[in-house]
Amino acid sequence: MTKRLGYLGPAGSYAEQAATVYDKNSEKAPYPSIPTVAKAVENREVSAGLVPIENSLEGAVTYTLDLLIHDSKLLISDEIVLPIHHNLLVSPGTTKQDIEVVYSHPQALAQCRKYLENELPGVELIAALSTSAAVKLLEKERKAAAIGTIRAAEIYAAEIIDSQIEDKANNVTRFVLLSENDSEPTGNDKTSICFTFDDDAPGLLYTVMGSIAKEGINLAKVESRPNKLELGRYFFLLDLEGHRTEPKLSRTLSTISSEVSELKILGSYPQHS
């Protein structure tokens, strides 16, 4: 039986494109937001869910980070990195001079900031839950534009008036697969963790980093997010090369656990190549 793969929809989103590249044979199920993708996995409506977590131009997708830290027990079981090329879409017959508002996901709007400033100065920018949801709005609005995919233009009968409008040509987004379990070791893995401290004292983060360096583990990413309880207190998110079951990384995670007030392992999974 073909597995069912959830993604941030509706159809025509970059997440759908990533889901197709990841597993073209799976049944695809769109959901309107990142939390609803996760909930679908938790309720076993789908086998796994694909959501964006990081972009090369705009950094972290905070909705996904906060979900993993605070709101879900799901684990990251895989990742895929997708090149992102944005397009400016309008209803048929709409010209650039007609546009009064541009809809898209906040990340897409930010990734096209320079284009929007130069080509559509003064136009109102409004966030949507996804790029494809933004394009769908054009069915009812004639003086609007959306930033989205070529497939979204085909699905929702929109016209592309400008292509590859992202500020940098090397624009890529990293998507992660959320599942009930993470992956078995492959020999080329990554482990994501988050942790926080109850106390605020000099050198706390330095101590954790020292434990990682002492074992010779490569640190692939460092991120922080507010703990949502107190101003100035944070969760720190790290991507470490290696699988949590490998002796070197297992020892390090045990040491870190004794140095922090809360440690959450977000999953071990194959590194994208």
Whether 4-84+171-179 shares its CATH topology with 87-163 is answered yes
The tokens describing 70, both together, are: 């605070």
Q: What is the pLDDT of residues 92-136, one digit of tens each?
A: 999 999 999 999 999 999 999 999 999 999 999 999 988 999 999
Under DSSP, the state recorded for 183 is P
Q: Helix, strand or coil for residue 214?
A: helix
Q: What is the pLDDT of residues 200-249, one digit of tens each?
A: 778 889 999 999 999 999 999 999 999 888 888 899 999 999 999 999 99
Note the CATH architecture for domain 4-84+171-179. 3-Layer(aba) Sandwich (3.40)
132 neighbors 152 (Cβ within 8 angstroms)? yes
State the chain's mean pLDDT as an integer. 93
What predicted TM-score, i.e. pTM, was given to this entire model? 0.87
Q: Where are the domains of the chain?
A: 4-84+171-179, 87-163, 189-270
Confidence at residue 1, expressed as pLDDT on a 0 to 100 scale: 37
Considering the domain 189-270 in this protein, what is its CATH number? 3.30.70.260
Class of the 87-163 domain? alpha beta
Task: Reply yes or no on whether the pLDDT at 2 is more than 80.
Answer: no
Residues 154-162, mean pLDDT to the nearest whole number: 95
Q: What is the pLDDT of residues 70-80, one digit of tens each?
A: 999 999 999 99
Q: What percent of the chain has pLDDT over 90?
A: 85
Q: What are phi and psi of 151, to 5 degrees?
A: -65, -40
Q: Residues 41, 61, 162, CA angle at the centre, nearest 5°? A: 110
